[in-house]
Amino acid sequence: MAHSDIIFLHAPSVYDFRKKPIFYGPVSDVIPSSPVFEMYPIGFMTISSHLEAAGFRTRIVNIAVQMLQSEKFDVERRIRTLDADVFAIDLHWMPHVHGALELAKIVRKYHPNSKIEFGGFTSSYFYDELIRRPEIDLIMRGDTTEVPTVKMMEVLQKGGDLSDVPNLIWKDTEGKIHDNGLTYSADSLDDIMFDYGVMIKNVIKHMDIKGALPWYGWDKLPLKSVFTVRGCSLNCAECGGSHHANGKVVCRKKPAYRSPEKLAEDIDSIQNYLDTPVFIVGDIRQHSMDYAERFLKAVKEREIDNHVVIELFNGANAEYFKKLDGAFEGGYTIEFSPDSHDEEVRFALGKGYTNDAIEKSVTAAFDNGCSRFDLFYMTGLPHQTRESALDSAKASKHLWDTINEKDGLYIYNAPFAPFVDPGSRVFEEPEKWGYRFFARTLEDHRKLLDNPSWKLVLSYETKWMTRDVIAETSYDAALELSKAELECGRISKEDCDNRCERTEVARSLMHKIDDIMIISDLREREARLWEIKEEGERLMDSTVCNKNDLGWEAGSIWRNSPRIATGLLKSMMRKPN
């Protein structure tokens, strides 16, 4: 096995989920990955790009994807065959805490002389608790850690003092903990390398496409992302990426943007390799309308023909959608997350736009070339009662009635789950927002993930809805949404019946687990849980939504092979800056 200087490892949410009777429920119905949360963060690619440019040999190994691909996949054997000076494990999203920590123990078992590094938002928040674990040597805090990571690798390989590496927490040879402080935070993203070519070249070099997939099934329906910003100017109460959370977790005082021209260049770079949809993370209007217009001018000049997915953080008018339609030759999709149709709930969260603004945005988008509009509601929010949550589902009928039957408006309603983001205003001041938490520390959250039912994994309840009510309401809202879709003629009676039946089966399974958990005899309890494991796995995806609706039309990476080859040739011929 070829030696790497650093290998980036991504763990499943729960290790080993294949050997545990787990009913995931609807916790991942509205994201591309499965409930195993096998999607690794974009930082793997950007940090790898910087390290490769500095002469280091990197590799990405998605352990979670390979575990999903085969029940026979032996994680310990795989880890044992890898060879690296540093194993970097992401703990960016809180639901990975169980799997990430267990994976670190396996790496320590087979590679006692290698360094184990953690990074990501959750690592940055719980750094003090993490570094005290014996299997962890290094923690890199912050949201722009590309430059500090290169510095860290230079010190580890060429000698020097780790005390000089910004954002790093580390242990010396005697196990003493050193905290260098969080001092590096890039003011601009223009120097960040978003080079997907590096990832493709590494896949070819290691002949390991399965191990490098961003998530399970990505090779068949690939989706790429580009980032307008790190940080945020908005302060949504429940969001771990809000202005408040960024200030607390990664000491970011203001958003760092990528210039509009660089952003267009990123999409053009993807276009060289893949004819696949490109998700633009962050509302391009967040900086200013001037920023958005410069970006749209740049993509038009580059003749971008990939389909593009655009985020809205608030309502938009017909003029804006007309500009989007004129800029993207491959068409565009809109992603909008009002979270609730109840204006009182939405305003409390910090989202100040009205229902009228949502309605006008939807109709204006379809009047100006939008091919699809995804709208997301959640259950378990501040000030949200059971009736309020159900009303969001019922109100969907009105939105569907305002547009043509063939317009691609997809509305999703899922639980705000499984954890409240650390660093968010809700997490920091739960009483103020009407929350009660079942987990506060990292270890608390890790233990919750060992529960067999998604309801028992929920880290919170509110003064308006208990944990039980949140779970029941999530299923009831799904039923209401399906019925509204049927009444509007957007799904067939058969599809509606199938979806409702699946929702009720999932609810029944949750109740079965409730009854099993009362059994005092642990052996009997475990045996009964294993009896329903297969049924739980069958409901692993699309529990309350049709997850297939989330996919875009895209050619598989195999169909893109000629374009990939051409893109690699162009990159080899391109002169370095």
Task: Give the start-end residues of each E strand in 91-241.
Answer: 115-119, 138-140, 168-171, 177-179, 224-227, 229-230
Q: How far is CA 84 from its chain centroid?
A: 27
Q: Name every residue whose Cβ is closer than 8 Å to that of residue 173 and which is 6 or more positions away in sequence.
A: none
Burial class of 236 by CB neighbour count within 10 A (0 to 12, 13 to 18, 19+): buried
For residues 463 and 483, the answer to whether their CB atoms sit within 8 Å is: no
Count CB neighbours of 159 within 10 A. 7
Give the pLDDT of residue 553: 63
**Residue owning tokens 């790009």:** 49
Query: Nearest to residue 134, comparing CAs of 149, 112, 155, 156?
Result: 112
Is omega for the bond preceding 16 within 30 degrees of 0, making it cis?
yes
* List of domains in the chain: 4-179 (3.40.50.2300), 223-550 (3.20.20)
What are the tokens at 294?
Answer: 């410069």
* Cα separation, 239 vs 257, whole angstroms: 19
Give the Cα separation of 485 and 502 in Å (integer): 16
Residue type, 5: D
DSSP E strand boundaries for 269-417: 278-281, 308-312, 332-339, 372-379, 409-415
CA-to-CA distance for 181 and 169, rounded, in angstroms?
Answer: 8
Note the pLDDT of residue 281: 94
Cis ω for the linkage preceding 342 (within 30 of 0): no
Tokens 């011929």 correspond to 573
Whether the upstream peptide bond of residue 562 has omega within 30° of 0, thus cis, is no
First to last CA, the chain: 33
* DSSP, residue by residue, 79-118: HHH--EEEEEEE--SGGGHHHHHHHHHHHHHH-TTSEEEE
Cα separation, 446 vs 357, whole angstroms: 40
99: Cα separation from own chain's centroid: 16
CB atoms within 10 A of CB 19: 10
pLDDT at 554: 59
- Token pair, residue 459, equals 């880290």
How far is residue 376's CA from residue 353's CA, in Å, rounded to a whole number?
15
Residue type, 214: P
Task: Quote the CA–CA distance of 266 and 532 in Å, as a whole number.
Answer: 46
Q: How many CA atoms lie within 13 A of 546 on its CB side?
A: 18
User: Alpha-carbon torsion 341, 345, 349, 355, what sign?
Assistant: positive
Element (H, E) at 314: none
Q: Residue 467: count other Cβ atoms within 10 Å of its Cβ.
A: 18
Q: H or E element: which one contains 256?
A: strand 256-257
- CB 434, CB 464: distance < 8 Å: yes
Local confidence pLDDT in tens for the 577 residues of the chain: 689 999 999 999 999 888 888 888 776 565 556 777 778 888 999 999 999 999 999 999 999 999 988 889 999 999 999 999 999 999 999 999 999 999 999 999 999 999 999 999 999 999 999 999 999 999 999 999 999 999 999 999 999 999 999 999 999 999 999 999 999 999 999 999 987 666 666 666 666 666 676 756 666 666 788 999 999 999 999 999 999 999 999 999 999 999 999 999 999 988 887 788 899 999 999 999 999 999 999 999 999 999 999 999 999 999 999 999 999 999 999 999 999 999 999 999 999 999 999 999 999 999 999 999 999 999 999 999 999 999 999 999 999 999 998 999 999 998 987 899 999 999 999 999 999 999 999 999 999 999 999 999 999 999 999 999 999 999 999 999 999 999 999 999 999 999 999 899 899 999 999 999 999 999 999 999 999 888 777 776 656 555 456 555 655 555 555 554 555 455 555 544 4
Q: What is the pLDDT of residue 575?
A: 47
The four Cα atoms 527, 69, 271, 299 give a dihedral, to 10 degrees, of: 0
Residue 191, token pair as written in the block: 């120097």
Burial grade of 367 (CB within 10 A; 0-12, 13-18, 19 or more): middle
User: What is the C-alpha separation between 203 and 193, in angstroms, rounded?
Assistant: 18
Predicted local distance difference test score (pLDDT) of residue 216: 65
